[in-house]
Amino acid sequence: MTINVRSNQGPPVPAQWLRPTAKDTSFEEMQRRLQTDGYVFVKNLLSREEVQRVRKEYFAHYEPTGILKPGTPAEDGIFNDENDPLAHGGIGAGELPPTDLQVKTMIEAHTQPEYLRMLENAEFRAFVRDIMGWEKEILLTRTMIRHNAPGALSTGVHYDKLFLRKGEAEFLTAWVPIGDTKATGGGLMYLSDSVSVGREIEEDFTRRAKELSDEERLSAFNVHMEKYGQLSQNASEFGDLRQPDGEKSLRHWLVADYEAGDVVFHDPYIVHASSKNEDVDGRIRVSTDLRFYEDGSDMDDRWMKLWTPGDGL
């Protein structure tokens, strides 16, 4: 069974479904899936109550910006459709929002207490160590908790290594939906079998960047890159890629109906994007992006600071 989802540009794409993984699956099997699929979609890793507390906190923090529909509970996150959704974009959704209050709120969202408690969840951090076989993990300080309102710009097609080019060590991304998120509600969509695609694209960028300074070469926004560091705003361009073995089958986009407590771990090179948020109930998607390295590895230390507007990353 497929479902049609949209990106910022282009026609709808027929998407298939991510393979779910129970959290009590053996770590050997999870490591195998991460290597072969490029992702592990772990169901109910975090407690639903913990994640919902973060969602409620986020929207209570954002309520003064006018983003919420009047008279609705904060944790529901229902968009005030009297507003222009393009004026209420989150991180990575094009330009910064237009008011100083919105920008200030966006920055301060990263230091709210319930959110910080979730990041330090001992079971979650142990899970990261076990799935990677690390003795100790480092969470990069520059996390990105962000929202995507219905009708706003979603995150374009990219792979994460574009933005973390400094350092030789590989990292692990954990994408955490903060609240239930339908496949058509702005959640992440992954291109199947695309780790090799991301690696090939990055190798091409590296060849073309030889004449640049070290600082420019590391930037996801250098002269060889697209605006906002993305590969494309049109997901259908990538669904047409052929499988590497030359078979007639095409790669396809993979989506899920995410639930509060789910976590997707993915490879730095897997190609992914956010679906266009077309939630019929007007729910705003909230999520956070977390990057982990093994302690002591050659990591991208540019990310050891809180997110701020215009930080060049």
**How many C-beta neighbours within 10 Å does residue 19 have?**
12
- Rounded CA-CA distance 31/39 in Å is 9
* Model confidence pLDDT, tens digit, residues 214-269: 666 555 555 555 666 678 889 988 866 655 555 555 789 999 999 999 999 999 99
The DSSP string of 9-33 is BSS-EEEEEPPEEETTS-HHHHHHH
| CATH no. of 3-303 | 2.60.120.620
Spatial CA neighbour of 274 closest among 100, 166, 168, 152: 152
- For residue 217, what pLDDT is reported? 58
Residues forming beta bridges with residue 188, ordered by sequence position: 274
Write the pLDDT tens digit of every residue in 87-122: 888 887 667 788 999 999 999 999 999 999 999 999
Domain ranges of the chain: 3-303
Q: Is the pTM of this model over 0.75?
A: yes
Confidence at 281, pLDDT banded by 50, 70, 90: very high
Q: What is each CA distance from 298 to 4, 101, 162, 166, in whole angstroms?
A: 40, 37, 16, 8
Q: What's the half-sphere exposure (Cβ side, CA atoms, 13 Å) at 288?
A: 27
- pLDDT winner (highest mean) among 69-78, 173-182, 294-303: 173-182
pLDDT reported for residue 206: 77
Query: What pLDDT shows up at residue 124?
Result: 97
Average pLDDT, the chain: 89
Cβ 254 vs Cβ 190: under 8 Å: yes
Distance CA 194, CA 271 (A): 6
Adjacent-strand bridge partners of 176: 288
d(C-alpha 256, C-alpha 7), whole Å: 15
Instruction: Please tell me the predicted confidence (pLDDT) of residue 250.
Output: 74
With beta carbons less than 8 A apart as the criterion, state whether 38 and 172 touch. Answer: no
Average pLDDT score over residue span 166-189? 94
Give the separation between CA 63 and CA 48, rounded to whole angstroms.
Answer: 22
Token pair for residue 90? 């989150």
* pLDDT per residue as tens digits for the range 113-149: 999 999 999 999 999 999 999 999 999 999 999 999 9
Among 187-196, 228-237, 267-276, which stretch is predicted with the lowest mean pLDDT? Answer: 228-237
Sign of CA dihedral 181, 182, 186, 188: positive
Q: 48: buried, middle or exposed (CB in 10 Å: 19+, 13-18, 0-12)?
A: middle
- pLDDT value, residue 248: 52
